Amino acid sequence: MDITEEFRQHFDFKLADGYSEQEIAAKLGDPKTIAEQYGSSPAKGSGGERALTVSLLAVGDLFFGMLCLLLYAFEVVIAATAVTFGALSVCLIGDLGRLEFVTLPQMPYSCAIALGVVSTTLCVLSVVGAIYFSGFLRQLIRSYCRFHKNALSAAAGRGKLPSIPAHPQFSQKKRRALRWTALVFTILFAVSSLVGYGLCAAMAGSAEFWHVWGWFV
Amino acid sequence: MIKLIEGRMLVSAQYKKGVLELCVMALLKKRDCYGYEISEYLSGHIDIADGTVYPILRKLKADGLLSTYLQEESGGPPRKYYSLTGLGRETYERDRREYLVFAKAVDTILKED
């Protein structure tokens, strides 16, 4: 169905409502003006332009894919860090050095608890980091996909969608929780490190307690 | 003098067109309509020529904001229904917000007169 069909139906409806053809035509407006308004439809992009866009996008996709791989690898590193610190705190606080298959450096149990707490704060901070980073990655990919789609639409002369911001989009609640957790556990980390170091130094009777306990021999 | 008036009319027609696009999308957000329905609805509210709506519908469709489908009606040719696409919905929400802020500002300025 095209333009004339649409106007033919308009006439049919109006005629059915009891208007005369002259009245309908008068109400329809100046034909020249209407014709001009049809002229403002967006022009389709030329074939060459589209091919250029597509090939540039292909190169862009390749680089973006590699960047994503790299960033995903980093996400894995952060997650592994979190797991490691988590496991370390379990070993330290649970006194698992007693077990045959766990090897922990020598230290009094009170020091192990103090250092376990430090490790726990680092674990929580890594988890927050991993969540934030995965949010960032997800949004980065969404943003790129939207850009990709828009570039293709523009080349084809179609409309564009609004672009997507590249920074992580968390709900207000989640963002507040993440920020709060990060702040609290940074403070806890600072305090527990100082306390842990102080305790170890006091127990060993030396500022370089690791030498006293022979950790690196 | 006549030229000036024509120029003013043109400006007025142009800004009206943008706002009319918004009105069409507002109507289609509520439900799918066929062309004549939209034309009647708008000319019932705003003083425009009946024919103005059809080029707007075509442009919105070309921009990917609307999609169309045919529906059989009892005793008549199939009607072309217009429906807002996802892109149309997104665009409508954004333009609506922008327009409301703009209209409010203009309203404030004009009332200071």
Spatial separation of the C-alpha atoms in residues B48 and A104, rounded to whole Å: 84
Q: In this predicted structure, what is the pLDDT of residue B3?
A: 46
Distant-in-sequence, close-in-space partners of A127: CB < 8 Å, separation ≥ 6: A82
Are the C-beta atoms of B35 and B80 separated by less than 8 Å? yes
- CB contacts, 8 Å: A31 with chain B: 51
Are the C-beta atoms of A192 and A86 separated by less than 8 Å? no
What is chain A's Cα-based Rg?
34
Cβ distance of B36 and A7 shorter than 8 Å: no
Query: CA B37 from chain center: how many Å?
Result: 12
| pLDDT per position as a tens digit, B45-72 | 888 888 888 989 988 998 889 999 888 8
A72-89 average pLDDT score: 95
Nearest to A159 among B17, B55, B64 (CB): B64
A158 touches chain B (CB under 8 A): yes
B77-84 average pLDDT score: 88
A109-128 average pLDDT score: 94
What is chain B's Cα-based Rg?
16
Distant-in-sequence, close-in-space partners of A203: CB < 8 Å, separation ≥ 6: A107, A108, A110, A111, A209
pLDDT over threshold 60, residue B9:
no
End-to-end Cα spacing for chain A: 87
| pLDDT per position as a tens digit, A16-58 | 888 888 888 888 888 888 887 776 544 555 667 788 888 999 9
Return the axis-axis angle of helices B53-62 and B2-30, rounded to nearest 10°: 60
For A116, other C-beta atoms within 10 Å of its C-beta total: 20
B2-112 CATH choice from 2.40.50.100, 1.10.357.20, 3.90.1150.10, 1.10.10.10: 1.10.10.10
pTM across the whole model: 0.52
The answer, yes or no, to whether ipTM is higher than 0.90 is no
Q: How far apart, in Å, are the Cα atoms of A213 and each of A88, A92, A102, A189, A205?
A: 19, 16, 18, 24, 11
Q: In chain A, what are the domain boundaries? A: 47-212
Q: Mutate which of A5, A6, A30 to test chain B, going by most B C-beta atoms within 10 A?
A: A6
Lowest mean pLDDT across A88-102, A106-120, A134-148:
A88-102
Q: In chain B, what are the domain boundaries? A: 2-112
Tell me the CB-side half-sphere exposure of residue B63, using CA atoms within 13 A.
23
DSSP per residue, B48-92: --GGGHHHHHHHHHHTTSEEEEEE--TTSPPEEEEEE-HHHHHHH
DSSP per residue, B9-39: HHHHHHHHHHHHHHHHHHHHHHS-EEHHHHH
B81-105 average pLDDT score: 92
A30 touches chain B (CB under 8 A): yes
- CB contacts, 8 Å: A163 with chain B: none
pLDDT over threshold 60, residue A177:
yes
Cβ distance of B87 and A27 shorter than 8 Å: no
Cβ distance of A37 and B56 shorter than 8 Å: yes
B80-95 average pLDDT score: 92
Nearest CA-CA distance, residue B55 and chain A, Å: 5
Lowest mean pLDDT across A71-80, A194-203, B18-27, B74-83:
B74-83
A122-146 average pLDDT score: 94
Q: In this predicted structure, what is the pLDDT of residue A45?
A: 52
